[in-house]
Amino acid sequence: MSDMQRLYRIKTMIQARKVVPTKDFLHELEISLATFKRDLSYLVDRMQAPIKYDRTAGGYIFTDPKAGEKLEFPGLWFNEKEATALVLMQHLLSNLDQGGLIGNQIEPLMSIVDGLLGREETSSRELRKRIKVFGMSARKNSLENFEEIGNALLNRKRLHLTYYSKDRDDITERDISPQRMIYYRDNWYVDAFCHLRKDLRNFALDSVKKAVMLEEKAHEVQDKTLHDYFADSYGIFSGKVTHTAKLRFTPKKARWVSKETWHGQQKATFDKNGYYILEFGYNQDPELIMEIMKHGAEVEVLEPSELRDKVIEETTKLLKQYKKASSK
């Protein structure tokens, strides 16, 4: 813990507890009595902190109840609630980012916050121990590619990608103008203008084999155009909306699904029998079909007929597969 962090901790301990015995400072800051007295002298003499020892209370206090709020330290500091919120944000983000792409980048900041919070019940270690986040489908990404794409975004430069298509099982070389990065369903994507296809595309970072920032300036796409092409469909699938799905969930399943957001522009109602009717736009259906089928008999596709037929086809194939396996 640095000298400035230690001074800040002394201030926040008195501010939070009103009265702090000497032994608490020595134990929690892991310092000697001589170091504590030197720190206290600096706070009182150099920073004009109104701190004194109250024999009746048995510890150090602020003579002015609002002194802790008024006492300012050089640099960037947080009060205890702000620091706690920062720890929560970092912990949630690092758990969601199973690929470990950003954890190392913010670790130095978190070591400072750890020093500010110390080892009280609200410390960062206590918070991390008591909050768990489990990602379901995160795929491994390259930190090198993640940083290169991030640099290109910030500097508004084009990127040359070596990109693997899972659908076609092939690799292409292409230049793109990155517009934004999206963290969606536990994975990272890049929305970009593809100079090979002369149109907007989104690229999964785990499929980027290599990314190299170029000197050419990125082709800029207006926010409205990006919204029209991508945002209307970011919920379960990407691409410009071409179809509208209408699903009906049983009253039992509705207790869960009615609290979920499948699409930013979705419409939802309950019918007189308690069934939950969900409507939203989509472009491609493979991911949607998987999402529907995970709810089993608790959901029915009402519209469009093409989507309903595809779900029936998948269900029929699944049934045949299990019948075949059970007959052996």
Query: Is the backbone of residue 159 left (phi > 0), alpha (psi -120 to 50) or beta?
Result: beta
State how far the Cα of 220 lies from the Cα of 200, in Å rounded to an integer. 11
Helices (H), 169-304: 223-229, 251-257, 286-293
CB 144 within 8 A of CB 134: no
What is the reported pLDDT for 206? 87
CB atoms within 10 A of CB 185: 14
Angle between helices 103-117 and 80-96 (to 10 degrees): 150
Mean pLDDT of 227-248: 75
Task: Give the pTM.
Answer: 0.54
E strand or H helix at 171, and its extent? strand 170-184
How would residue 168 be classed by pLDDT, with cut points 50, 70 and 90? confident
What is the reported pLDDT for 97? 59
Lowest mean pLDDT among 119-123, 208-212, 224-228, 254-258: 119-123
pLDDT digits (tens, 9 = 90+) for 138-150: 666 666 788 899 8
**Does the pLDDT at position 31 exceed 50?**
yes
CB atoms within 10 A of CB 158: 21
What is the reported pLDDT for 120? 47
pLDDT digits (tens, 9 = 90+) for 73-106: 655 455 556 666 766 666 666 666 555 556 666 6
State how far the Cα of 13 lies from the Cα of 186, in Å rounded to an integer. 38
Q: Which amino acid, one-letter code, is at 148?
A: E
What is the reported pLDDT for 121? 44
